[in-house]
Structure 1
């Protein structure tokens, strides 16, 4: 496997669906922040120190691969063009911050992209594990194994009372952020999403958009994650978020059922209109595409539209993003108009692969 393979594939294996409540929960993620003992955090370290950190982590790539029979790659971020770093963000492999053009940042990534480790982001290590559906326990178990392998080779900064020491105090303690990515179109259509967001916030959770902190909830996709890491065990955090996520899933199911019972014809008309626009549009913006794709996915999940795989939605979430489109175009820059036309073309071609039953 090469980084080019990873960049060119629209779907990482974890994005192909499966897992509990896959019709609503797109993925579960666990991220661990770790720092090497007696080494300044990345924000205070000089280039020589950061290069040494990256060099030390590079030595562990073989150990990771030997432990779980997967191939791991070590990628120096400054060797990648900005466009390719942005594509990695769109595929949820790195954070927007890690895509910034700073020296001595690196990425360790597994061949299926279920495991990625950002080196010298805000912390020396950000270990991220992604699995499909509502399955935080599996993501946590995977992250734990990777963490144990790395900790066997490297001594992490740890305090008996404060737990793992991190660049941001809000991550201290377990150093763990767990999150679920949910598709909640019915709660949006029934104007209940603000109530859900407010309730989650009161329970100590954060609700963000498609790419995490600082991003909008485009396409009716929301990320719910824990905010508190200090004073709670990893299992407590996982259990609490899993419980809240199940409640949100149930609320979305109730909203979908209400839409189906009270306005079945209007709902069917809405999703089929969205499908029709996507099938025939010659130019479409990213925002409109995400909105219409969300409605089509709702139609697929409710079996109003049959013959189209739900995984099409996951794939188009990536391929219709600006940087992925530019990479497909094969040019350093394309105009907004060209991008909108290419986006519409890709959507038309993908939807034609499966002909729905009217």
Structure 2
């Protein structure tokens, strides 16, 4: 595939499948940080070393993987293309800023991306819908094992895998889940949850990871400790924490629904109306409305919009995608106009069918 194919698609195919606990857990991500022995870390290596690492990693991935990968050089991409790849969670904001021999390898279904010469020589990232920590880890582990047979990983018998940042030394594993937690946010419990996770050695970030803010009540929860624990222990600890958060979110949703069902229904439908008919929409307002509609769908109050359409809309409202849609760079107020236009087109689409009860039924 060429880069335009990845950019023009909205949600990747894996995101269109509802995973386990998909009403709350949007996606699971496993990231493994690895470096090659005999080369300096990307923070201090030469352009010659960067090129050699890029060539070695790319050759190994393209030769051994069962999946079909496409390779893209970062410095050859315009800034807008890089931004769209960040918004699709295929590369990190840090990689998007690189100008040396950095690249990304992306599988055709976008479930795997391998960043080359970001903070480390390579970072393997696997994505799955819903709550699939163990399954996603196994996918990443299999690919990592294959690559280790062909690449000289930097490994210490005492410390484990050596990484550019000390916080990743050991397993090099960062496991995370993207969660939609509107009820815990509305009931002001999210701060307590965040403090609890911090005590457990975990971290809560925004939708784009480190340094990003919460948008639309989406939170990325991941492990912070990589040294002194096995991969299995890290996965198990995160799994247990997420299961508890899911219980708390469901209890909060039920409590809100029991206390003020008409108020909630009015809130959800007002948000849906805004998305369908507004002509100016900031990304913050769009995310808030999409969060309300998503909660309305999960609670069975809104029945006409499938979750995969809302997943696509959350990607579409981002600044890079709006400009990709417009075909040019836009000022913020121009983006607000195009964003509203995109949402109207997406949510008023008549490509849906009707089921035998006369209710709207979208194709998945």
TM-score tier after normalising by the smaller chain length: over 0.9
| Aligned position for 1:56 | 56
CA deviation profile, 1:76-96 (whole Å, cap 9, x unmatched): 111111110110000000100
Partners of 2:146 and 2:75 in 1: CA distance: 26
Partners of 2:89 and 2:266 in 1: CA distance: 33
- Please report how far the alpha carbon of residue 63 of structure 1 lies from its aligned counterpart in structure 2 after TM superposition: 2.4
Match of 1:137 among 118, 134, 139: 134
| Aligned position for 2:356 | none
Partners of 1:164 and 1:37 in 2: CA distance: 10
Contact 1:34 1:157 in 2 (8 A): yes
Match of 2:73 among 71, 76, 92: 76
Three-state SS of the structure 1 residue aligned to 2:28 is strand
Partners of 2:35 and 2:279 in 1: CA distance: 49
| Aligned position for 2:228 | 231
- What TM-score, normalized to structure 2? 0.95
Match of 1:339 among 335, 345, 357: 335
| Aligned position for 2:355 | none
Contact 1:82 1:101 in 2 (8 A): no
Partners of 2:75 and 2:54 in 1: CA distance: 12
Three-state SS of the structure 1 residue aligned to 2:149 is helix
- Please report how far the alpha carbon of residue 313 of structure 1 lies from its aligned counterpart in structure 2 after TM superposition: 1.4
Give structure 1 stretches of 5+ with no counterpart. Answer: none
| Aligned position for 1:17 | 17
| Aligned position for 1:278 | 275
In the alignment, structure 1 residue 120 sits paired with structure 2 residue 137 = no
Three-state SS of the structure 1 residue aligned to 2:126 is strand
Q: How does 1:166-205 map to 2 (within 5 A)?
A: 166-205=163-202
Three-state SS of the structure 2 residue aligned to 1:291 is helix
Partners of 1:336 and 1:163 in 2: CA distance: 46
For the aligned residue pairs, the C-alpha RMSD in angstroms reads 1.2
Give structure 2 stretches of 5+ with no counterpart. Answer: 353-358
In the alignment, structure 1 residue 291 sits paired with structure 2 residue 288 = yes
Deviates most, 101-110 or 227-236 = 101-110
- Please report how far the alpha carbon of residue 340 of structure 1 lies from its aligned counterpart in structure 2 after TM superposition: 0.5
CA deviation profile, 1:179-226 (whole Å, cap 9, x unmatched): 000000011111111111111111110000000000001100000000
Partners of 2:145 and 2:116 in 1: CA distance: 17
Deviates most, 93-102 or 9-18 = 9-18
| Aligned position for 1:90 | 87
Match of 1:326 among 317, 323, 340: 323
Three-state SS of the structure 2 residue aligned to 1:107 is strand
CA deviation profile, 1:144-200 (whole Å, cap 9, x unmatched): 011011101001000011000000001000000000000000111111111111111
Q: What is the aligned length?
A: 353
Partners of 1:250 and 1:64 in 2: CA distance: 41
Q: How does 1:251-266 map to 2 (within 5 A)?
A: 251-266=248-263
Partners of 2:207 and 2:95 in 1: CA distance: 16
Match of 1:152 among 143, 149, 154: 149
Partners of 2:99 and 2:62 in 1: CA distance: 26
